[in-house]
Amino acid sequence: MKGTAEHTENLHGMQMHFRVGGEGEPLLLLHGFTGSSDDWQYVFSEIPVSYRAIVPDLRGHGGSTNPSKEFTHRQSALDILELLERLGVERIKAIGISGGALTLLHIAVRRPELIEAMVLVSATPYFPEQARRVMSQMTIEDQPPEMWQQMRRRHKHGDDQIRALFAQGNGFKDSYDDVNFTSPLLSTIQARTLIVYGDRDPLYPARMALELYEAIPRSYLWILPNAEHCPIFVERREAFVETALAFLRGEWNSD
C-alpha cells in the first residue's frame, strides 16, 4: 500500500513484519489465511484519509516468521494485541478478511473495549461441514505452477513456509476449539460491526452471517448477491471501499 513504511517486531517467539503509514486514528487491516499484507493494495490503493493504517503479516504469512509451525486464530489475536500494545494503540477501528476476520473476533471478545468499529469480511462463528470438506482437500500435492508463483510473491521465507501454510489449512478440518464463537460469547462484543458476506460462499453459507448478525449486539449485515468468498476485490472493490469507510466513520450508526 502506498505511503506505508515496513517494520519488524520480535514478539511471542516470532518476527512480525508489518507496515504503518498515514496520520489519524488507528485503522488495523488484517488479511486472510494464506494471504499477506500485500493483498490490501488490491482494496485500498492509498491509505484512507484521516487514518493511521497498521497492516501486519499474520504469523507465518508474508514476511512474518512462525518457528512453531502451528497456527491458530486465537494465537494470531494474541500476536496482534501485543503489536498494538507496543505501538501504543489503545483504541482502533479494523477490517478483517476471512482468517483476519476470525482473528478480529478473538480480539473483540478478549478485549471488547479495544475496538470501536470493525468490518468482518467472510467470517464465521464456527467451521461448518462444507468448509471442513474444502479444508480436507487443501494439500500441497499437485498444486499447479500458477499457485506456486502466486504464493512465492506473497510469502518471503521460501517454499517451506508455503508448505507449512497448506498443512495448517488442512489441519483446520479437525479443529473445533479455535473457531467456536457461541452466541453468548459474541454478545459481549462492544464494537459496531459490519458483517460482509457473499451469498455463494463455498466455505460459509449465508446462514452463518445471520448467526453472527443475531448474536453481535451492534451489528449490521451486508450480503452481496451472486458473490463468493471474500467478495471485496475487482469489480466489487469500489463499492466495498465506499461502504466500509462510511461505516467506520459512523455514518451507519443508528444506536
Mean pLDDT on 2-10: 92
**pLDDT for 243 beyond 70:** yes
Q: Following DSSP, what letter does each residue of the chain receive, concatenated?
A: -BT-EEEEEEETTEEEEEEEE-SSEEEEEE--TT--GGGGGGT-SBPPTTEEEEEEPPTTSTT---TT----HHHHHHHHHHHHHHTT--SEEEEEETHHHHHHHHHHHH-TTTEEEEEEES--SB--HHHHHHHHT--STT--HHHHHHHHHH-SS-HHHHHHHHHHHHHGGG--SSSB--HHHHTT--SEEEEEEETT-SSS-HHHHHHHHHHSTTEEEEEETT--SSTTSGGGHHHHHHHHHHHHTTTT---
The reported pLDDT for the residue numbered 143 is 87
Q: Considering the chain, what percentage of its residues have pLDDT values greater than 70?
A: 99
Mean pLDDT on 79-87: 98
The reported pLDDT for the residue numbered 34 is 97
**pLDDT for 195 beyond 90:** yes
The reported pLDDT for the residue numbered 109 is 98
Domains and CATH numbers, the chain: 5-127+177-248 (3.40.50.1820)
Rounded Cα distance, 162 and 21, in Å: 28
Mean pLDDT on 205-228: 97
Mean pLDDT on 98-125: 98
**Residues 15-27 pLDDT 10s:** 999 999 999 999 9
**pLDDT for 254 beyond 70:** no
**pLDDT for 233 beyond 80:** yes
Average pLDDT value over all residues in the chain: 96
The reported pLDDT for the residue numbered 253 is 61
Confidence of residue 37 (pLDDT cuts 50, 70, 90): very high
**pLDDT for 72 beyond 80:** yes
**pLDDT for 142 beyond 90:** no
Among the residue ranges 147-151, 190-194, 212-216, the one predicted with the least confidence is 147-151
Mean pLDDT on 202-218: 97
Among the residue ranges 124-128, 143-147, 178-182, 184-188, the one predicted with the least confidence is 143-147
Q: Considering the chain, what percentage of its residues have pLDDT values greater than 90?
A: 95
Mean pLDDT on 117-143: 95
The reported pLDDT for the residue numbered 87 is 97
